[in-house]
A and B are shown apart, each in its own frame.
Chain A
């Protein structure tokens, strides 16, 4: 579809099958590779992203598919960007609108509450995930709801919403296909936009075979989707309440907007007589003109499509039904007060930073062991738990691609560096890093010590500077050859060949 819109752009990947054709093609390998699972969580212990990433990469078919699929999204995004002359101006505008709104957040929140209430929406306030869950449960209980259909929402992931509802005997059915796959597999979403992107079709076939009784040997995407539709539609039609998140909350009109490609939010919102939307307070924007800027950026950045299939505006309850909005803080106010890290609140959850991140593409989103994975996760997760997520800011080469695809211009790679500084300053740094850097700092501060430390002409393993080698295992040499050491350093060459000239110049 995008190709039709921008014919002047040549497609460098014309030989690549489109989604529909590719998803029915038999997979290359007959033997299905088991799906690698995410990070191992041990209570509050710091998550070891690299360990999980190594397991993900060891599943070579998964890693190759994941990298190719997300890189394809990045390329589609680039193509859309080139179709919009004022792209960089739009990014500036979007960033400015978010900064403005965040700087007057209290005003816009109250304005929304006033206008939404006038529209017939019941507005609630939740300071954290637990309060959100309690408010929603209270609404459901008082109306005797036993089954809730729900569209994908990262906020509810933050709140542990599904687990909470399960404990309280409310059945939750996810209506987004990817999210439903993840729910049936008892896994968190691995990506904010494409939650099951780390799974091969064979993985989905095996999940569906176990949970909804599909043919375990049939991994055709159309077949699998149809099986899911057949299994879920009756549940959707009989649910007593629907839940959505919200992509944008418009203060001046007292409305909110949900963007999906499957229309599942509309199913969740419009089928039952009760619609509850839990939305983070950073989703506020002033007016509908502002919304236009974001709608142009969101899907282009996320999936490389000009717009989401459904952009639904919710204005108030239908006749004979109810609409509730829960405005959730859950750490956002505190983040707004963080000098270095407040710009993370501009995020519109498009996932472009994940698609472009070379580390994310090779690690899988579940390797981060946190609600938010990838570059945006590295700078948001430590605000929830600084100790548990202290290693995440190191899961980056700080290459800066994320910052430059971000439609709201969050300085992600700079914040990653700032987090490292903050964590080291607070003592939240692994002992091995700390010891190595202290040693490196000592050696490099003194030319004499430094020159004496250069292990020239010794065994191959000693040819690396100490700060790279001071590790129980010489990680450099596992998959890389160690550079050959020349006969002399540049310093030695210079002293031998040029130093006298310098002295001569001075006299």
Chain B
């Protein structure tokens, strides 16, 4: 199995440790991972703003970088959603269809494809609040949502439960969007920041020491709000916890 690692632009730039943890974690399970160095972005900023034409060349580049792999894995559900469900600015060739159907968010890949049942190296004796990105939750269906009447399930929680010593902190509005929303965070800055502050307040009230998520983008926004508010909360990507980060 040959896996192409996609490290989204903001992870590349601000959270290289998330990319490194994803790479090492996959390798721990014997997966052969390559990172095509000419990668940039999935096209989401343009697509989300409605500028499909402007996204086309970025999408083409993505497909060129990743078409040779059996799977494409990325530590971001919202980028996965872009590739799988919204990469429509370009002609749907066999290569495009292959890339779109083979792109997985890390938690999904571990849970559904590798069917991982243990992380013997992982120990995280802390109180942790889990945040699900909205695309990951409602479009990729990584967990059950409170809006629907359905059996509760959570793939990230199922994986985290295999980590020694971890304790979960419950939020009062677990499914509420944190207000990042991609370009929403800059175009609609006021509402975005208010939603972020409310999310941080909920996390604080839960008694969490750490917040974790399979999406760095939401956490970048939440962390920015938390720091400005002087909130004592730490943000860590789920890949790092599963890869055995201690704190």
Contact = CB atoms under 8 A, between A and B. Distances in A.
A401 B51 contact: no
A434 interface: yes
Contact of B54 (A413, A440, A480, A486): A440
Interface string B77-105: 00000000010000000000000000000
B16 interface: yes
A363 B194 CA distance: 10
Contacts of A396: 181, 184
Interface string B161-197: 0000000000001011101111111111111111111
A486 B175 CA distance: 31
A376 to B, nearest CB: 15
B3 to A, nearest CB: 13
Contact of B49 (A82, A437, A446): A437
Nearest to A441: B54
Nearest to B229: A479
B14 to A, nearest CB: 4
A53 B58 contact: no
**Interface class of chain B by DSSP:** helix
A216 interface: no
A446 B41 CA distance: 10
A126 B34 CA distance: 64
B233 interface: no
B123 interface: no
Contacts of B51: 424, 429, 433-434, 437-438, 441
B84 to A, nearest CB: 14
Contact of A397 (B45, B184, B190): B184
Interface string A447-460: 10010001010000
Contacts of A486: 14-17
Nearest to A454: B13
Given A356-B147, A444-B9, A445-B58, A450 B191 contact: no
Given A441-B58, A491-B37, A405 B147 contact: yes
A394 B186 CA distance: 11
B7 interface: yes
B191 A50 contact: yes
A397 B224 contact: no
A355 B22 CA distance: 38
B146 interface: yes
A481 B58 contact: no
A79 to B, nearest CB: 11
B150 interface: yes
B48 A476 contact: no
A478 interface: yes
B55 A488 contact: no
A88 B194 CA distance: 32
Given A476-B189, A480-B193, A494-B35, A399 B181 contact: yes
Contact of B225 (A57, A395, A479): A479
Contact of B147 (A404, A433, A434, A456): A404
Which residue of A399, A450, A493 has the most chain B CB atoms within 10 A of its CB atom? A399
Residue in B13, B137, B185 whose Cβ sees the most chain A Cβ within 10 Å: B13
A57 B190 contact: yes
Nearest to B219: A483
Interface in B1-35: 7, 9-20, 23, 32, 34-35
A480 B149 contact: no
Contacts of B37: 447, 491, 494-495, 499
Nearest to B190: A54
Q: Which of B16, B134, B182, B191 has the most CB of A within 10 A?
A: B191
A424 B52 contact: yes
A400 B34 contact: no
A358 interface: yes
A433 B54 contact: no
Which among A393, A395, A441 has the highest number of chain B CB atoms within 10 Å? A441
A476 B40 contact: no
Contacts of B49: 394, 420, 424, 429, 433, 436-437
24 contacts: A50-B190, A71-B173, A81-B149, A359-B188, A395-B191, A397-B180, A397-B181, A401-B134, A401-B138, A401-B175, A405-B147, A417-B50, A429-B49, A433-B183, A437-B51, A447-B40, A475-B187, A476-B186, A479-B197, A480-B193, A485-B14, A491-B7, A498-B35, A505-B34
Given A394-B187, A437-B49, A450-B40, 18 more contacts: A54-B190, A54-B191, A399-B138, A400-B135, A421-B50, A429-B50, A438-B51, A441-B51, A444-B43, A447-B61, A465-B10, A480-B193, A480-B228, A481-B223, A486-B16, A490-B11, A491-B37, A494-B19
